Amino acid sequence: MIRLPSFEICAPTTVEEAVALKAGYGPEAMYVAGGTDLFPNMKRRQFEPKVLISLRGVQDLRGISNGTGLTIGAGVTLTELTNHPDVRKSFPSLAEAAGLVSSPPLRNMGTIGGNLCLDTRCTYYNQSHAWRKALGFCMKKDGDTCWVALSSQKCLAVSSSDCAPVAIALGAEVRLVGPQGERRIPAEALYRDDGLEYLEKMADELLVSIHLPAMDGWRSSYRKLRRRGTIDFPILGVAVALRLAEDGTCEAARLVLGAVASRPLLVPQATELLVGQRITEQLVQDVAEVAAKSAKPLDNTDMALSYRKKVTRVYAARALAEAAGLPAGD
């Protein structure tokens, strides 16, 4: 059994206290919410914080409230999100994605904030310390080589959150609070295509809440590829959100791919093809084709690269057909 290293834990009860603690301890400290990603990573010595700032007691991170759209506290668990009637009714793709994360015990602990801030993953990185040491480590932690692409100057580890592509497709915004104050940015702007520095968030900034706009007339869907349907991370995710006019013309559309790059990948060509058109089975195939072409997955997650490339087209077609109310074919 791999053991956790020792660390100190702080238990703030307010956002301000949590942020002040993080700023005070600096790079030695990390936030922890459910710990379902951070603790395994600490066991493998991928992260070695001396201090953890637990978010469990911060009441302002809890709860889902209705206003213009929905505001979801970062500390809401994935189980709460999946079961919430307003999320299920208005944002079914988010309920679906949250319900597909991992397994029930981890969804009971894991939070939406932790899911959106999830570390990027790679076959050469999500390994024990002994395994990584035997290889000579890699650029993401303790080394300077990328084993996926030896000539790469940057880490190509993969964004593997189920909820992040959905949040972007739904046009969500996130509220961040840091020592310098607070800001609200589109979920799309939270991510960088860099396996190391994968968030635009500053290290001390706390993700406090997620804001979903009112989506009258929108439909959404999420499809996930993984080996074991009960626990595995996505090796492909497709999130679609569409607004259709009464006559069936597509007025707005967003298609986002997960697990094909170091950040969730918005496919603007899909929007261009869809908007102003009635969605037919042929159009679904055309959009799926451009989505698959945009995806440039690498050989650093589960399943063969060639299979993952082929199946991107199939999953994009299914997600789009479902959102458009056409037969999804599975």
User: Which token pair is 222?
Assistant: 């999420």
The identity of residue 61, as a single letter, is L
User: Which token pair is 174?
Assistant: 């996130």
Per DSSP, the residues of 6-63 read P-EEE--SSHHHHHHHHHHHGGGEEEESS-TTHHHHHHTTS---SEEEE-TT-GGG--
Q: Should residue 258 be labelled a site residue for ligand FAD when binding is judged by CB under 6 A?
A: no
Q: Should residue 162 be labelled a site residue for ligand FAD when binding is judged by CB under 6 A?
A: yes
Q: Which member of 124, 198, 222, 233 binds ligand SF4 (CB under 6 A)? A: 124
The stretch near ligand FAD (CB under 6 A) out of 28-36, 185-193, 295-303, 307-315 is 28-36
**Contact flags string 130-169 toward ligand SF4, x per CB under 6 A:** --------xxx-----xxx------xxx------------
Q: Should residue 135 be labelled a site residue for ligand FAD when binding is judged by CB under 6 A?
A: no
Closer of 177 and 298 to ligand SF4 (Cβ): 298
Query: Please, what is the Cα angle at 61 between 55 and 62, to 5 degrees?
Result: 110
Q: Should residue 236 be labelled a site residue for ligand FAD when binding is judged by CB under 6 A?
A: no
Q: Should residue 171 be labelled a site residue for ligand FAD when binding is judged by CB under 6 A?
A: no
Q: Should residue 82 be labelled a site residue for ligand FAD when binding is judged by CB under 6 A?
A: no
**Alpha carbon distance 276, 268 (integer Å):** 14
Cβ neighbours of residue 247 under 8 Å, at least 6 residues apart? Answer: 278
Q: Should residue 312 be labelled a site residue for ligand SF4 when binding is judged by CB under 6 A?
A: no
Q: Which does 139 bind (CB under 5 to 8 A by kind): ligand FAD, ligand SF4, none?
A: ligand SF4
Q: Should residue 35 be labelled a site residue for ligand FAD when binding is judged by CB under 6 A?
A: yes
Please name the residue ranges forming H helices in the chain: 15-25, 38-43, 78-83, 85-90, 92-100, 104-109, 112-116, 129-135, 163-169, 268-274, 281-294, 305-324
Cβ neighbours of residue 143 under 8 Å, at least 6 residues apart? Answer: 132, 136, 137
Q: Should residue 261 be labelled a site residue for ligand SF4 when binding is judged by CB under 6 A?
A: no
Q: Strand 29-32 to strand 51-54: parallel, antiparallel, or no bridges (unpaired)? A: parallel
- Rounded to the nearest whole angstrom, what is the least distance from the CB of residue 293 to ligand FAD in the complex? 25
Residue list 42-81, contact with ligand FAD (CB under 6 A): 55, 74, 78
Residues that bind ligand FAD (CB under 6 A): 30-38, 40, 55, 74, 78, 101-102, 106, 109-111, 113-115, 117-119, 161-162, 206-207, 231-234
Residues that bind ligand SF4 (CB under 6 A): 122, 124-125, 138-140, 146-148, 155-157, 195, 300
